[in-house]
Amino acid sequence: MMRKLFFTRLALFLSVMLVLSLIPFLTLLQPSVSAEPATLSTHAQSASVIDVQSGRILYSQQGDKQMRIASLTKVMTAIVAIEHGDLADRVSVSSAAARKEGSSVYLKAGQTISLENLLYGLMLRSGNDAATAIAEHVGGSVEGFAYLMNREASMLGMSHSHFSNPSGLDAPDHYSTSDDMAKLTAYALKNAKFREIVKTKVKRATVADESGDLPDYVWGNKNKMLSLFPGADGVKTGYTKLAGRCLISSATRGGQQVAVVTLNDGDDWADHARALNYAFANYPLAKLVSKGEEIEGTKLVSAVDYWYPLNEEEKAHIGRKTLLGDPYSLDYRFGTLGRLQLTLNDKPIATLPLSGPGKDDSARGQANATFNQMGVGESGDSPNTLPHLFIRVIRALFLAASQE
């Protein structure tokens, strides 16, 4: 009898222990209900992750700390040259450009090369000689080009940045932050020529001198992320002894493009891979509004599609507010009958144009969406100001008028 009771109790004990041992495995089989995204850490002194389409900063580690940025500077050099220069121009290399210290594509004084090819030498090989030649040609001088760089920074809301040269060589008044460089990168990646350049792995460039064309330069991209990370499509490496290793990378997955900026990071390749995966896994694009979608309580429809990166918890905290247009306004005349304001945790993230049902408002939508496509952050402030927006909006409005 005692023996039978012993074995009964033993069997019961073993059964309980078996169930307890399975709990961790059974938990893994349940769908995750965690509201908070996984944590991210890097070896960088400063780091930022940004969703390119919306301009939302997804992660910031000392993102406003002013630091040296080395050749990440050349992102600004490239976009200023693309916007202010003629890429078909033939640029004459000066003695000052040919002698510029630091990384080089080995241009010689008196050679001529197209501005477009100089941009490849700038971004793929980080040529300081190319940077100087670009600055002298587009800005009239290095100082004149620095003025254009700082004006661009101001337009983009890069409030913690200042540029004194086009190459990124260390200087007391040459600095930025990872958040500011993330804003710049998101802006630059919206430019088709910039995107084409920074994703190129190898470029052949023709250079000439007084005797005619010389053998082509062949430039390989220093950005190893293009080969290390699936979907990588940019952007720029950088290094000086004082700045340390600096890197901007970008990648596209499932239609979403993300960029990562690290400053003074001794393990940047690995950190960027982790940061990109973190962003794609935790902040996928969510479609908040569909073009043609009827807005509740009105007879108006959205003129555009709108996507925004959200983690699971945030999806329940999106708000909408409809703002009806003034019938006597210019916006109303061009078909924008109202606006839909989107908020996240009561903070504006976008304001979208609304039109009447059944109209083709693609041009009008393009014009109005311009205000929200460039880096609208959680504060609702756009880094663009009138000089950039005015030209784009007027062009789109004229296009809309021509379709009347």
Q: What angle do CA 340, 342, 348 make, to 5 degrees?
A: 120
Which amino acid appears at position 369 of this protein? Answer: A
Render 47-64 in DSSP notation, one character per residue: EEEEETTT--EEEEESTT
Active-site residues: which are they?
Answer: 71, 74, 126
Q: Please provide residue 229's backbone torsions phi and psi, each rounded to the nearest 5 degrees.
A: -120, 125
The pairing of strands 338-344 and 306-309 is: unpaired
Q: Give dist(CA 253, CA 275) in Å, integer.
A: 13
Q: Give dist(CA 182, CA 334) in Å, integer.
A: 34
Q: Which residues of 154-178 are buried (b: 16+ CB within 10 A; e: fewer)?
A: ebbbbebbbbbbbbbbeeeebbbbb
Q: Give dist(CA 303, CA 11) in Å, integer.
A: 68
Element (H, E) at 208: strand 208-209
